[in-house]
Amino acid sequence: MKSRSISLYDTTLRDGSQGLGVSFSVADKIQIARQLDSLGIHYIEGGWPGSNPKDEAFFEQISRTPLKQAKIAAFGSTRRANTKVEKDDNVLKLLKVETPVVTIFGKSWSFHVSDILKVSYEDNLKMITDSVAFLKKAGREVFFDAEHFFDGYRENPDYAIQTLNAAAAAGADCLVLCDTNGGTMPSEIQRIFNEVKSCVTASLGIHTHNDSGVAVANSLIAVDCGAVLVQGTINGFGERTGNADLCSILPNLQLKGGHEIVSPKQLARLLDVSRMVDDLANVRHNPRLPYVGEAAFAHKAGIHVNAVQKNQRAYEHVKPESIGADRLILVSELSGQSNILMKAKEFGINLDKNDPKTKDILTKLKEKEHRGYEYESAEASFEVLMMKILGTHKSFFDLHAYRVIIENRDNKLITEATIKLTVKGKMMYLAAEGDGPVNALDAALRNSLEPFYPVLSQVKLADFKVRVLEGDAGTDARVRVIIESTDNKTIWGTVGVSENIIEACLEALIDSIEYKLFKK
């Protein structure tokens, strides 16, 4: 491991919450802060005191929340023009929340100084100096975020450097160079960072946005150039296209760059923290995120699976368990025997490559995928299919007939499903109403089966997707229905395909029920 100490500064709770569709309650922010602390993050930016009641409540509650190592930072700006720093309400509120760290941003782009702040260059430098010195005198660790630094340096490098030196002379602990517009390329980051190092003596940090898709690369290059503080967010949340993603930066620095940022045990919590933040933000976890996405260690092609089975290094750049992930073997028409064998092992099924059943499963899989079935999101249906071919499938009930009726009753659509089946030697004939065909069929099946299998009362539908498979066939086209079910502990997917959407729905529902009963 390299000796230079690198600190991570998380701004999910402030900059990240400014992203489109992202909002956290006070309780959410407290929970995220605790998880970030357990991940080993060094600094957690809680928000802007005085900007809103939520942030004020957060700082009050987090002061009573024990953290193992992370320091909480309050965020704000330099004092206002024509206002003494000791009289500036915003600066005073930064001290009032009593965080050990205060981060303030100031203008480093001459264009912003003259056209946005509308003050003189000298006045802006004085605003920076007064604010940093005042906060340092109060005993705080102070970071200075040089806003729009790279844009400012390109246009007026002398003045951009003057803003840094003003903050450093006033005692700033770290000068953070910000690519606020997210438009700087990696080669420019490298050039400018190296030039800045020759002009200032203070510690340097980096804060990048992802508008050009290179925020993580820019952050890593800055570290190579000497940055000791890296700011970012979990899952890349943030304004516009987001901030640099710490879920990529952390493992890249530790597993690829040789920097000991956190302990291996803490790093193994990365996936859990990533998913938890998405859950609290009420956004769907992006399956294609590097490292923490569901697809990050997913293998589909038979050649790939065969190679990974022999040695994971063949198609995996790091061990998935290092960040708390699992290898995912997908089954599809591209699968080979290795996919089947590894998936069977995952299901707890003993299968030998020389067993004729293995070839039968692969043949049936390719046949069904050709007809429109898709098992990547419906692994429960694939497990049921394997059990049927292996002869280990148990029939929990026999369906004889069903009917679905949709009528307009008093200007209200009513859906009724009738099911006729035999369960444990007893004939059941029941009807149920629902909001639609799937809901009605599900209710009718439950009403028939729950008296015999009470565990089904725990199961509910979590998601329902329909795709038309042959668009040029009009109303005669086949449809694929994928249903996600949950018992509040696990989620499983099942699939059905038919020219009749009701039949496809019922096939997926039956697989879901049989899967749950088999697992029970």
More confident residue, 371 or 497: 497
pLDDT at 276 over 60: yes
Asked if residue 132 belongs to a domain, the reply is: yes
Single out the residue in 252, 281, 310 at which a domain terminates: 281
Distance CA 136, CA 102 (A): 9
| R_g of the chain, CA atoms, integer Å | 29
CATH of the domain at 23: 3.20.20.70
Residue 62: predicted pLDDT = 95
What's the pLDDT band for 489 if we cut at 50, 70, 90? Answer: confident
Residues 170 and 88 in one domain: yes
* Range scoring the smallest mean pLDDT among 1-15, 136-150, 295-309: 295-309
Q: Give the number of domains in the chain.
A: 3
Asked if residue 449 belongs to a domain, the reply is: yes
Asked if residue 385 belongs to a domain, the reply is: no
Residue 399: partners with Cβ closer than 8 Å, 6 or more residues away: 419, 420, 421, 510
Residues 153 and 34 in one domain: yes
More confident residue, 254 or 342: 254
* Each residue's pLDDT tens digit, 215-224: 999 999 999 9
Residues 47 and 182 in one domain: yes
* Each residue's pLDDT tens digit, 159-190: 999 999 999 999 999 999 999 999 999 999 99
Residues 174 and 141 in one domain: yes
pLDDT at 82 over 80: yes
Residues 352 and 409 in one domain: no
Asked if residue 388 belongs to a domain, the reply is: no
* Each residue's pLDDT tens digit, 404-419: 998 887 888 889 999 9
Residues 248, 251, 257, 263, CA torsion sign: positive
Residues 255 and 315 in one domain: no
* Range scoring the smallest mean pLDDT among 6-15, 261-270, 379-388: 379-388
Distance CA 119, CA 113 (A): 6
pLDDT at 423 over 60: yes
Residues 109 and 253 in one domain: yes
Across the chain, mean pLDDT equals 88
Residue 3: predicted pLDDT = 47
Residues 90 and 218 in one domain: yes
Single out the residue in 318, 338, 364 at which a domain terminates: 364
More confident residue, 284 or 228: 228
pTM strictly above 0.75: no
pLDDT at 12 over 90: yes
Provide the 3-class DSSP secondary structure of residue 518.
helix
Contact 36, 14 (CB under 8 A): no
Single out the residue in 281, 307, 335 at which a domain terminates: 281
CATH of the domain at 503: 3.30.160.270
Which residues are bridge partners to 496 per DSSP?
481
More confident residue, 218 or 499: 218
pLDDT at 1 over 50: no
Domain region containing 229? 7-281
* Each residue's pLDDT tens digit, 292-328: 987 766 655 555 555 555 556 655 678 878 888 765 5
Of the ranges 18-22, 175-179, 288-292, the best mean pLDDT one: 175-179
Distance CA 472, CA 478 (A): 11
Residue 335: predicted pLDDT = 52
Neighbouring C-beta atoms of residue 280, cutoff 10 Å: 18
Residue 281: predicted pLDDT = 87
* Each residue's pLDDT tens digit, 207-259: 999 999 999 999 999 999 999 999 999 999 999 999 999 999 999 999 999 99
What's the pLDDT band for 260 if we cut at 50, 70, 90? Answer: very high
More confident residue, 363 or 126: 126
Residue 333: predicted pLDDT = 47
Asked if residue 121 belongs to a domain, the reply is: yes
Name the phi and psi angles at 397, rounded to 5: -165, 160
Residues 155 and 14 in one domain: yes
Residues 215 and 182 in one domain: yes
Residues 32 and 169 in one domain: yes
**C-alpha angle 452/456/459, rounded to 5°?**
170
Asked if residue 286 belongs to a domain, the reply is: no
> Taking Cα atoms as reference points, which of 326, 239, 316 lies closest to residue 275?
326
pLDDT at 264 over 70: yes
Residue 20: predicted pLDDT = 87
> Taking Cα atoms as reference points, which of 483, 413, 389 lies closest to residue 445?
483
What percentage of the chain carries pLDDT values higher than 70?
90
Asked if residue 259 belongs to a domain, the reply is: yes
pLDDT at 2 over 80: no
Residues 303 and 228 in one domain: no
* Each residue's pLDDT tens digit, 426-470: 999 999 988 888 889 889 998 999 999 999 999 888 888 888 876
Asked if residue 472 belongs to a domain, the reply is: yes
Which residues are bridge partners to 88 per DSSP?
none
Residue 343: predicted pLDDT = 66
